[in-house]
């Protein structure tokens, strides 16, 4: 058994005992009052999930195992001193709660490179059976499901396995799945946008660097950006749609492939991960309609107001939890200012940032008028030549695997049961609050 699995057992077993005791001895204690508004607006703020990988503060933004993004940029191992942290290190941190050594990160990099080599051929046949113009998220998710033929969890479950060991084949499946996603994502990218001219994995490269390489981008800065992108999109607590969907489906002991696929179906929604490409769609439509490459703030203001007047959302703005500018937006803006100070798209993103919040505030209903991670990520990728924006949600999905699948391993370590909240009909709620016609 490798040292990471050994560590997981050491820290996971006592935690599972704690969860059992909490349920048995403290299970009847109330922890929070829930009001009707919370239930009818998407369970906002209802504490009902157990997640250790990251925590989202409305004002401050995300912390991964207690560390902010700038702290992790300092503390996690990197390829170059002035580079971005390797996402392998973030995975280790989320999994174990401890900062990794360079050796830990190298170990994971090597594991993922090896596990990425032997994707069964039927997975590519399945992708190839889809029309090329099928959205990349359809191709990505189909491939994820096709890979579930490899699930160790199902085999081990059927062979008869002690519940307390469920985490082990889950871990193996998670490691295989994460390892293979960059190959799948870049295969889809090259299939759809680069005439099926595929590029082989380079086992000497790190996980995110390999993704850039297999997509066809060898520049040091693109690899650096990909490492940053893979880190900041990895996790956002347990209640966001992709994390919660992965957890919910996983609670039925569905294997990691089924569970992650559920999460990816959620990520493909325009209010969640698909927002990153919708931002680009919105920007390009604006430039076409205004007829200028460099519109003024007044022109952007008018276009944003028009979007709202048609009953549409402004993508890249707002958040279900955050109440300030998303630090994932800020860190990308800083990256852009450092490496791409003159990029027109980044300048445009800044102009949009100058005008959109006040317009959203003026509606009187938007709870968070500030930009989220998606407001800039596409402009950054586009500025490096990755302009084919339908692939952006797939890239988000590759990164999101790190967090939601670590959460799945922890669900198994904690021994969490099947999830089954209670639902009621409208009359029940009306009755409960003495609703008067
Ligand atoms: N543009 C226009 N209207 C917006 C808005 C925006 N960017 N953000 C919120 N609103 C509206 C809501 O649609 C809602 O309107 P109604 O009352 O008429 O239904 C009202 O303001 C209150 O919504 P809220 O409480 O502020 O926001 P929610 O928690 O319901 O929704 C969303 C959060 C992120 C879905 C929302 O802000 C939104 O639609 N933003 C645009 C899409 C987007 O960028 N999504 C990505 C979010 C980050 C993420 O998950 N990335 O993957």
User: Which residue has the least CA distance to atom 40 on ligand 1?
Assistant: 318
* 82 catalytic residue (yes or no): no
* 374 catalytic residue (yes or no): yes
Residue 328 CA to residue 422 CA, distance in Å, equals 35
Confidence category of residue 108, pLDDT binned at 50, 70, 90: very high
Task: Quote the pLDDT of residue 11.
Answer: 95
Alpha-carbon torsion 65, 67, 73, 74, what sign? negative
Query: Mean of the pLDDT values across residues 108-127?
Result: 97
User: Which residue has the least CA distance to atom 32 on ligand 1?
Assistant: 319
318 in contact with ligand 1, CB cutoff 6 A: yes
Query: Mean of the pLDDT values across residues 88-108?
Result: 98
223 in contact with ligand 1, CB cutoff 6 A: no
372 in contact with ligand 1, CB cutoff 6 A: yes
Q: Are 97 and 53 in contact (CB under 8 A)?
A: no
373 in contact with ligand 1, CB cutoff 6 A: yes
The CA 332 to ligand 1 mean position distance, Å, reads: 21
Query: Which fold, 1-29+36-272+388-437?
Result: Citrate Synthase; domain 1 (1.10.580)
The CA 320 to ligand 1 mean position distance, Å, reads: 7
- Ligand 1: which atom is nearest the Cα of residue 326? 48
The CA 366 to ligand 1 mean position distance, Å, reads: 7
Confidence category of residue 330, pLDDT binned at 50, 70, 90: very high
Query: Mean of the pLDDT values across residues 46-56?
Result: 98
Catalytic residue among 206, 244, 272, 411: 272
pLDDT at 9 over 90: yes
Query: Mean of the pLDDT values across residues 14-22?
Result: 97
The CA 340 to ligand 1 mean position distance, Å, reads: 29
315 in contact with ligand 1, CB cutoff 6 A: yes
| Mutational test site, ligand 1, from 235, 272, 313, max ligand atoms within 8 Å of CB | 313
pLDDT at 77 over 90: yes
- As given in the structure block, the two tokens for residue 362 are 């003026």
| Segments of the chain assigned to CATH 1.10.580.10 | 1-29+36-272+388-437
Q: Each residue of 360-376: pLDDT tens digit?
A: 999 999 999 999 999 99
Confidence category of residue 160, pLDDT binned at 50, 70, 90: very high
Residue 294 CA to residue 424 CA, distance in Å, equals 52
Confidence category of residue 215, pLDDT binned at 50, 70, 90: very high
Query: Mean of the pLDDT values across residues 123-137?
Result: 98
Task: Quote the pLDDT of residue 1.
Answer: 86
User: Which residue has the least CA distance to atom 8 on ligand 1?
Assistant: 318
The CA 208 to ligand 1 mean position distance, Å, reads: 30
Confidence category of residue 42, pLDDT binned at 50, 70, 90: very high
Q: Each residue of 258-305: pLDDT tens digit?
A: 999 999 999 999 999 999 999 999 999 999 999 999 999 999 999 999
Catalytic residue among 135, 319, 326, 411: 319
pLDDT at 16 over 90: yes
Q: Which CATH architecture has domain 275-383?
A: Orthogonal Bundle (1.10)
The CA 379 to ligand 1 mean position distance, Å, reads: 20
Instruction: Look up tokens 């990816």; give the residue.
Output: 264
Q: Each residue of 380-410: pLDDT tens digit?
A: 999 999 999 999 999 999 999 999 999 999 9
* 319 catalytic residue (yes or no): yes
The neighbour count for residue 297, using CB atoms within 10 Å, is 11
Q: Are 259 and 408 in contact (CB under 8 A)?
A: yes
Helices (H) and strands (E) in the chain, counts: 20, 2
Q: Are 209 and 79 in contact (CB under 8 A)?
A: yes
Q: Chain-wide mean pLDDT for the chain?
A: 97
Query: Mean of the pLDDT values across residues 119-131?
Result: 98
| Segments of the chain assigned to CATH 1.10.230.10 | 275-383
Task: Quote the pLDDT of residue 81.
Answer: 87
Q: Are 394 and 185 in contact (CB under 8 A)?
A: yes
319 in contact with ligand 1, CB cutoff 6 A: yes
How far, CA to CA in Å, does 143 sit from each of 112, 149, 183, 188?
18, 11, 11, 10
Task: Quote the pLDDT of residue 30.
Answer: 97
């Amino acid at each position: 058994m490798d040292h990471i699995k050994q560590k997981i057992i050491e820290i996971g077993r006592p935690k599972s005992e704690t969860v059992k005791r909490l349920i048995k001895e403290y299970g009847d204690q109330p922890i929070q009052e829930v009001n009707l508004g919370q239930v009818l607006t998407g369970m906002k703020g209802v504490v009902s999930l157990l997640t250790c990988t990251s925590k989202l503060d409305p004002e401050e933004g995300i912390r991964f195992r207690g560390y902010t993004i700038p702290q992790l940029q300092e503390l996690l191992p990197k390829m170059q001193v002035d580079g971005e942290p390797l996402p392998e290190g973030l995975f280790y941190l989320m999994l174990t709660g401890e900062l990794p050594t360079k050796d830990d990160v190298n170990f994971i990099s090597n594991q993922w490179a090896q596990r990425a080599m032997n994707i069964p051929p039927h997975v590519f046949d399945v992708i190839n059976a889809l029309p090329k113009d099928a959205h990349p998220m359809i191709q990505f998710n189909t491939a994820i499901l096709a890979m579930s033929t490899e699930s160790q969890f199902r085999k081990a479950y059927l062979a008869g396995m002690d519940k307390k060991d469920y985490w082990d084949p889950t871990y193996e499946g998670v490691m295989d799945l994460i390892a293979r996603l960059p190959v799948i994502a870049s295969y889809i990218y090259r299939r759809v946008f680069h005439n099926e001219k595929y590029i082989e994995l380079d086992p000497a490269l790190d996980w995110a660097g390999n993704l850039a390489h297999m997509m066809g981008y060898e520049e040091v800065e693109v690899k650096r950006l990909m490492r940053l992108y893979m880190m900041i999109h990895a996790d956002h607590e347990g209640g966001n749609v992709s994390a919660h969907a992965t957890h919910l489906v996983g609670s039925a002991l569905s294997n990691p492939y089924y569970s992650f696929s559920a999460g990816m179906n959620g990520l493909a929604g325009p209010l969640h991960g698909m927002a990153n490409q919708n931002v680009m769609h919105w920007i390009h439509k604006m430039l076409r309609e205004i007829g200028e490459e460099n519109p003024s703030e007044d022109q952007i203001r008018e276009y944003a107001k028009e979007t709202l007047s048609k009953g549409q959302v402004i993508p890249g703005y707002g958040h279900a939890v955050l109440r300030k500018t998303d630090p994932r937006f800020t860190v990308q803006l800083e990256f852009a200012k450092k490496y791409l100070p003159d990029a027109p798209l980044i300048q445009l993103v800044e102009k949009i940032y100058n005008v959109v919040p006040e317009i959203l505030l003026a509606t009187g209903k938007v709870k968070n008028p500030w930009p989220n991670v998606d407001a800039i990520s596409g402009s950054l990728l586009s500025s490096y030549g990755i302009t084919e924006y339908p692939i952006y949600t797939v890239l988000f999905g590759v990164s999101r695997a790190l967090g939601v699948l670590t959460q799945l391993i922890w669900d198994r370590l904690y021994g969490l049961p099947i999830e089954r909240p209670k639902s009621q009909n409208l009359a029940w709620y009306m009755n409960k609050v003495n609703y008067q016609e």
